Structure 1
Amino acid sequence: MICMMSVRDELRESLRVQSAMVTTPEVPTSVYRDMFGNMCRRMVAQPGTFSLRNDCTIELSGLPDPVMPWLRPTPLADLPDEVLMYLVGSRYCETDRLSQIAWDMFGHIAPGYAQVQAICDYVHNHIYFNYMNARVTRTAYEAWQEGTGVCRDFAHLAITLCRCMNIPTRYVNGYIPDIGVPITGPMDFCAWMQVYLDGSWHTFDPRNNVPRIGRVEVAYGRDAADVPLIHSFGPHILQKFTVWADEVV
């Protein structure tokens, strides 16, 4: 098994309490970084019931996601080499199937922050969030057709539409506490996106579509295929899954 549950290295200086990952029964684990710099933990799970647990306390600014309407696109010729992969199609993001649709809907909007926000607004209103309609094989095009899904479907569709407009966009997953918003249900692992504007990456969240406080990045990649919470090379049945991301006062 390979799992991604630890925060990205960029946040490690902000950790105040870090507990090691605990497996039950205890098995040897090793850590490596994948091609995106995500921390991956590798182990062999024995047959039978097997559990994973990880916890930490992290100090963040306490401020919501910044809103910066002045951001402009970085000219394509000036994009860093490592950013170019986030312009093209990937496993769940079929830019070829949505390109004309994207240009028809968003081509008239000034490139930059306004165009990305318009895409997020559209996706937020187009997809109906429903856990019961989750499907691990759903692509961005299928999410657009079906109009239903979970946070990863919101992210995949918005990512694809942004890439169609020549805006580099990557898939991000991690934790979002319910700070400053009504608590509507149990917490879950969350997916959102980052776009490359004015020479750096910026957070957008088509699922929630409002600035959130306490966002913690765990992993990013081209789409969900690059950053599974658990990647098992064999059959398994998930019996219990609990996420907590609570404010420490």
Structure 2
Amino acid sequence: MFIRAGFEITITCDAPTPLLLALSPHSTYPNRIVGNAGVRTTPSVPTTAFVDGFGNWRTRLVAPVGELTLSSDILVEDSGAPDRFNWDARQHEVADLPSDTLTFLTASRYCEVDELVARAWELFGSVPPGWARVQAISNFVHNHLTFGYGFGRSTKTAVDAMREKTGVCRDFAQLSLALCRAMNIPARYASGYLGDVGVPDSGPADFCAWIEVFLEGEWYTFDARYNTPRIGRILLVRGQDAADVPMITAFGSYRMSLFRVWCDEVSGTTSEADRLAMLQSLPDSQPLTLAAE
């Protein structure tokens, strides 16, 4: 199956403003991408791209005075399979964990693990370790938090979400992260495109946050907001929490006047002529390249 995904974001700056963007598919994203995976700018301004310590493609530019539109439009080939499920996946002892997973056990800016350890063990200590325990955490967060865009704020932490019982997708993810880490399970923040493939009543296409948990030597996806395997996730970024992967980091001020995201399955009934026309409408295929040293 094919999924067409992209965004259009328009901002206005009163002075030249350096921007650092996290809006391109992750460097490890395995699926075939048709179209330019980089960020386009209107008017055109110079951009450079690099891969950060979490494997995320980051784009640098200086926004000029006035209006600037950031955009992308790609076609992704997807298997159509839902998130992987392995009820028998075991939890590693901390002493046996690979070294590169340990950073995802500790507290981070939005995940106050130390403040949630006692509550986590009270809630989940009797649940068998491994997949069952992570699923119990996902079930709890799904039922504990009420979703609503009005509940989101940039300073909200896992402890805040636990206390307020509300949040947006990043709050569902960060509370899940903190509770997993409190139970000695490595967990990392992830975000990307997620449409309504297979679940047409799930709301409009958007950027969505979820978590990846290390069990049985592999990373598995859990998503407490929806709490069901989903089809067609397009990974953009990973990190310890949302502080590592803001979509736009501005070294100055700006005003946003447009924010639009799409992530739609391309119908299998589309004619070959329509498919060709759609492919021709996409920006030229062009892989991201590292900035010159």
Change (3 A) 1:32 1:102: same
Runs of at least 5 residues in structure 1 that lack an aligned partner in the other structure: none
| TM-score where L is the length of structure 1 | 0.97
In structure 1, which of residues 74, 80, 92 is the aligned counterpart of residue 98 of structure 2? 80
| TM-score where L is the length of structure 2 | 0.83
Contact 2:195 2:206 in 1 (8 A): no
2:135 is aligned to 117
Change (3 A) 1:175 1:199: same
Instruction: Say yes or no: does 1:49 pair with 2:63.
Output: no
Letter of the aligned partner of 2:247 in structure 1? Answer: L
SS at match of 1:240: strand
Letter of the aligned partner of 1:218 in structure 2? Answer: L
Report which of the two structures shows the higher radius of gyration computed on alpha carbons: 2
CA distance in 2, matches of 1:100, 1:75: 19
Change (3 A) 1:164 1:146: same
In structure 2, which of residues 179, 192, 201 is the aligned counterpart of residue 183 of structure 1? 201
Output the aligned Cα RMSD.
1.2
1:187 CA drift (Å) = 2.3
CA distance in 2, matches of 1:186, 1:126: 23
Change (3 A) 1:19 1:92: closer
Letter of the aligned partner of 1:186 in structure 2? Answer: P
CA distance in 2, matches of 1:201, 1:232: 31
Of residues 69-78 and 148-157 in structure 1, the stretch that sits farther from structure 2 once superposed is 69-78
CA distance in 2, matches of 1:248, 1:18: 18
CA distance in 1, matches of 2:102, 2:37: 36
1:151 is aligned to 169
Instruction: Say yes or no: does 1:194 pair with 2:212.
Output: yes
SS at match of 2:65: coil
Instruction: Say yes or no: does 1:234 pair with 2:252.
Output: yes
CA distance in 2, matches of 1:19, 1:208: 27
Instruction: Say yes or no: does 1:248 pair with 2:271.
Output: no
1:12 CA drift (Å) = 5.3
Instruction: Say yes or no: does 1:37 pair with 2:55.
Output: yes
Letter of the aligned partner of 2:140 in structure 1? Answer: Y
1:19 CA drift (Å) = 5.2
Contact 1:168 1:196 in 2 (8 A): yes
In structure 2, which of residues 144, 148, 171 is the aligned counterpart of residue 130 of structure 1? 148
1:183 CA drift (Å) = 3.4
SS at match of 1:173: strand
Q: Which whole-Å deviations, capped at 9, do the CAs of 1:25-79 have from their partners, x for residues lacking one? A: 2110000111101000000001211110012111111011122100001221221
Runs of at least 5 residues in structure 2 that lack an aligned partner in the other structure: 1-18, 268-293
Instruction: Say yes or no: does 1:105 pair with 2:132.
Output: no
Identity, % of aligned positions: 48
CA distance in 2, matches of 1:191, 1:146: 19
CA distance in 2, matches of 1:131, 1:20: 28
2:190 is aligned to 172
Contact 1:173 1:189 in 2 (8 A): yes
1:132 CA drift (Å) = 1.1
